[in-house]
Amino acid sequence: MGGVWRAMRSWRTVSVALLSFASGLPLGLVWIAIPDWMRSAGVDIRIVGLTTLAQAPWSFKILWSPLMDRYSLPLLGRRRGWAAMAQVGLFALTLMLAGVGDRPETPWVVLALALAIAFASATQDIAVDAYAVDVLRPDEQGAVVGARIAVYRAAMFTAGSLAITLAGAYSWPLVCTGLACAYLPMLLVTVLAPEPERAPVAPTSLRDAIWLPIVGVLARHRAIEILAFVVFYKLADNLAQSLTRPFLIDRGYDEVARGVALGSVALVSTLAGTALGGILTSVIGLGRSLWVFGVLQVFSNVGYVALARSPASLPLMYAANGFEQLTSGLGTGAFSVLLLRLTEKRFSATQYALFSSLFGLPRLVSGPICGAMVDAVGWEAFYWFTIACGLPGLVLLARFVPPTARELPAEYEVQTAGLEFRSTRSVVGPGLASGLAVLALTVAAAALLGALKTARDTQAPLRIVNALGAVLHPMQAADWIQLLGIVVIAVLAGLLGAAASATRPRR
């Protein structure tokens, strides 16, 4: 514990933690406050629904992260310069939002500003995450990760739920002005934050900034299994949490009980879990933390199984929800440290964005899958299914971290010295084949999920062809985001396939 205390006394670590507040503010504003604000002002629900467009920059930030690895701004270095520019943009855009705070007849302006805020926020996230990778020492990562997530959640609450409450008491222009001014001290932290002790060398070309990070990931020992682990480690949590609110409604809990469970209990449990998870990772080691917290977060869903089988009970409901959120936070704390360890400092913007995109992939697809499954088999069987879905993550973990290992084995560090690269022409075929195969699979999966949802809602037969047409010919904003996501996933799969075939051991 002495090492944890020493880590948090450094200005380097404190600045990384504080910058997470600037990352959480725009997310709470765009995802929580703006839809509430617009609907309360009487804006058409169809227009309010278009706020889902603002999710796009956070989902697809990997597309411009190589630019931030390759190029530096004139001031504050390669990471802090981009973060400062994004914070100035967020300050200006949020002030502009205050200017239309009393003008509900201008929803399109609000939507445009929300999308611009999301883009600036995603850019800031890339820079701040890369800065954390570059500046933190391994013995500091655990303590700082817990603090980062706690500060991030506090900022989301401030710009989301608290902003809605204050706007009701005062006004939206005043609240937006206050949120805009909150970026000014964050800008000061960015300016005063120290540069890394050894600044990584930037890639020499944009091609290298795009290509070499992916090749570097796949050059690791058992790279594909590690990437699969990134997807599956939190799968049980993502599936269980995707329908918590409908589950509690179906079990007969009223608005007050749900608000306490999903607001106070969940928030406190998650903050405590992430902070404790990061600290314990420093104390007992990353390997042991991944195992202990991984097992806990998978089997914590047994509480929801008990809740599905028993009559309505507030103590049981609060206990089940609180324990699940606590263990989810513990797992997130350890897993976030793993992502820092897996990221190469030279390409920290692109590689961390790649890992975080893979980490967030289950959240994008869990809703439709879970809804169709609950409709078919019921809540108890569904929660048993979520537990089963968590087991592959533990199996994959066993492939590269033995249960008795304290830390990540050394062979999983970046290893490019013993590799030679094939010609560009020789990797085009594998890249195209991988991209087209994944494109076909994701389109088919999206069509199947759409057909299942339509059949469930209308009690009509399953119509795959109609659903396929809906995927390929989007009509609404959410449909366009889905199609864009499919294309991005296919492009990433093509790059991964090409990168996997681009390296071979030297003889």
Give the pLDDT confidence score for residue 363 in this predicted structure.
63
The segment with the largest mean pLDDT, out of 219-228, 349-358, 388-397, is 388-397
- Report the distance separating Cα 431 and Cα 434, nearest Å: 5
Token pair, residue 354, equals 């790649």
> pLDDT value at position 287?
84
pTM of the model: 0.75
Instruction: Indicate whether 202 belongs to any domain.
Output: no
Whether residue 211 lies inside any domain: the answer is: no
Span 121-135, average pLDDT: 89
Most confidently modeled of 124-128, 227-231, 315-319, 433-437? Answer: 124-128
103 and 181 co-located in one domain: yes
Question: What are the angstrom distances between the C-alpha of 168 and each of 39, 113, 165, 259, 452?
Answer: 13, 21, 5, 18, 40
Residue 57 sits in the same domain as residue 75: yes
Q: Which of 415, 443, 462 is the last residue of a domain?
A: 415
Q: What is the pLDDT of residue 418?
A: 45
476 and 492 in a single domain? The answer is yes
The whole-number pLDDT of residue 90 equals 94
pLDDT band of residue 506 (cuts 50, 70, 90) is: very low
User: What is the predicted pLDDT for the residue at 93?
Assistant: 93
Q: How many Cβ atoms are within 10 Å of 417's Cβ, its own excluded?
A: 7
Tens of pLDDT, residues 207-256: 778 777 777 777 777 777 787 888 788 888 878 877 777 788 887 877 77
Same domain, residue pair 409 and 468: no
Q: Do 378 and 455 belong to one domain? A: no
Tell me, yes or no, whether 26 lies in a domain: yes
Tell me the β-bridge partners of 419: 505
Locus of tokens 């893979």:
358
Based on the domain organization, do 110 and 71 belong to the same domain? yes
Q: For position 143, what pLDDT does the model report?
A: 75
Do 429 and 407 share a structural domain?
no
pLDDT at residue 8, rounded to an integer: 57
Bridge partners (DSSP) of residue 503 are: 421
- Is there a domain that residue 482 lies in? yes
Q: What's the chain's average pLDDT?
A: 79
Mean pLDDT value of segment 117-125: 91
Percent of the chain whose pLDDT exceeds 70: 83
Task: Give the model's pLDDT for residue 419.
Answer: 46
| 18-27, 118-127, 337-346, 454-463: range with lowest mean pLDDT | 454-463
- Torsion sign across C-alpha atoms 53, 59, 62, 63: negative
Burial 86-120 (b: 16+ CB within 10 A, else e): bbebbbebbbbbbebbeeeeebeebbebbbbbbbb
**Which CATH number goes with the domain that contains 165?**
1.20.1250.20
Please list, in sequence order, all residues whose beta carbon lies within 8 angstroms of the beta carbon of residue 396, skipping any fewer than 6 positions away.
225, 228, 229, 232, 233
Position 505 scores a pLDDT of: 46
Residue 417's pLDDT is 42
Q: What is the pLDDT of residue 7?
A: 54
96 and 141 both lie in a single domain: yes
For 456, the domain range is 419-505
Quick check: is 199 in a domain?
Answer: no
Mean pLDDT calculated for residue range 181-193: 92
Buried residues in 294-328 as b, exposed as e (16+ CB within 10 A): bbbbbebbebbbbbbeeeeeeeebbebbbbbbbbb
Confidence class for position 367, pLDDT limits 50, 70, 90: low
Q: What is the DSSP letter of 42?
A: T
> Is 422's pLDDT higher than 60?
no
pLDDT at residue number 121: 92
Angle, helix 348-377 to helix 424-458, in steps of 10 degrees? 30
Q: Are residues 264 and 399 in the same domain?
A: yes
For residue 423, pLDDT over 50 is answered with yes
Residue 105 lies in a domain: yes
**Does one domain contain both 391 and 430?**
no
Q: Which of 386, 415, 444 represents a domain boundary (last residue)? A: 415
pLDDT tier, 86 (very low <50, low <70, confident <90, very high otherwise): very high
pLDDT band per the 50, 70, 90 thresholds, residue 182:
very high
Asked if the structure places residue 200 within a domain, the reply is no
pLDDT at 107 > cutoff 90: no
Q: What is the pLDDT of residues 276-308, one digit of tens each?
A: 887 788 788 888 888 999 899 888 888 888 888
Residue 206, in any domain of the structure: no
Q: Which of 384, 415, 446 is at the close of a domain?
A: 415
What does 335-404 look like in DSSP terms, one character per residue? HHHHHHHHS-GGGHHHHHHHHHHHHHHHHHHHHHHHHHHHHHH-HHHHHHHHHHHHHHHHHHHHHHS-TT
What is the pLDDT confidence band of residue 85, given thresholds at 50, 70 and 90? Answer: very high
Residue whose tokens read 């969940």: 266
Q: Based on the domain organization, do 335 and 465 belong to the same domain? A: no
Same domain, 186 and 61: yes
pLDDT band at residue 416, thresholds of 50, 70 and 90? very low
User: Mean pLDDT highest for which of 70-74, 371-375, 459-463?
Assistant: 70-74
The structural domain count of the chain equals 3
